[in-house]
Amino acid sequence: MAIKYPEIGQWFSRPNGTRFEVVAVDEAGATVEIQLFDGTIDEIEVERWPELLLREVSAPEDWSGSVDMDPEDYVGKTDSDMPHGYHDPLAFLDKL
């Protein structure tokens, strides 16, 4: 089986079942920055990538694990409830 090298946005699973997303690839530093589902950030050296026995997986349906918010935190909120200066970076997508 061919080794799948990391690309930003890809999700992988370790043999123990831990899932993570590739969030940055530093070619100059030869490292891959990953974010676990719980939001933890870690860094892996590119030369170690083939040794990790990773399997590419699809992104989890419940992506909120890394956001550190409970459903009660955002259900029923209106724009007037948001702190001054808050801007949802994805809000403009609904207006296209």
> DSSP alpha helices (H): ranges in the chain?
71-74
Instruction: State residue 45's pLDDT score.
Output: 92
Structure tokens at 82: 């948001």
d(CA 66, CA 79): 23
Q: pTM higher than 0.85 for the full model?
A: no
* Segments in the chain below pLDDT 70: 1-4, 62-96
Given the candidates 3.20.20.140, 3.30.1330.40, 3.40.50.2300, 2.30.30.30, the CATH classification of the domain at 1-58 is 2.30.30.30
